[in-house]
Every structure is written in C-alpha cells, then in structure tokens.
Amino acid sequence: SRNWVVGAGVALNPGTSVEAVREIMPFVDLLLVMSVNPGFGSQRFIETSLSKLRRIRRMLDSVNPTCDLEVDGGVHRHNIAVIARHGANILVTGSAVFNDQASVAENLSGLREACAEI
C-alpha cells in the first residue's frame, strides 16, 4: 500500500505578477516559479526571476513559512547557489542533467557539488 501525500500548489509563469497569488499564499503547500517560458527545454534562466523569488520568499515567510518555493527552468550548476540564496528550496534541473555535454552521472555529480556550496 502507498501512503499518499497530497498538497496544494500553484505555478507562476514568468509574466505573472506575484500579486496574482498573494491571497492564496497562506493556503498552498508549494509555489512554483517558472524561470523560463513553458514549452521547451534548454532555455536560459530569466534573471528577473531572482527578484520574484526573493519577494515571494519574504511574503511566504510572513504568512506561510513552511511552503516550499520551487524553481523550474534554466537551473544549472552555475546558478544553483544564487537561486537558493533568493529563497528557493526545490530546484528542477532538466537539461542540466540530460544533455550531450556529459553523462547523467557526471552532471549529477556536478550539481551535487554546486549544492554543497549552498
């Protein structure tokens, strides 16, 4: 048998304002910030996502400090630390793991090294 864990989450696209989710922040378990425009992989991280993350984290800390803040899009070894410093505690890596520049094992090792620096 499985023990199911069910929660409520909401995603913000790059063009969506933080204000769009302000009222529901106390009630969600996870808030996902898309740091690329959804649709295809290997896009560059949208740098303005960092200020959005910081703002969301501050808001969550006051109304829902246990809420996870997830980032998806353009997350790579070189920007993991700065993304985490801006408040994200879950980082989705796609093309940073699956690419033709190194093996999956090598890429995961590099990501783990970057995470150790946080």
Which residues are within 8 A (CB) of 33 and not within 5 positions of it... i.e. 6 or more apart? Answer: 11, 12, 49, 52, 53, 56, 69, 70, 71, 72, 88
Q: Give pTM, 2 decimals.
A: 0.89
pLDDT band for 118, please (50, 70, 90 cuts).
confident
Q: Which CATH architecture has domain 9-116?
A: Alpha-Beta Barrel (3.20)
Ordered by start, the domain boundaries in the chain are 9-116
User: pLDDT tens digit string along 59-102?
Assistant: 999 999 999 999 999 999 999 999 999 999 999 998 889 988 99
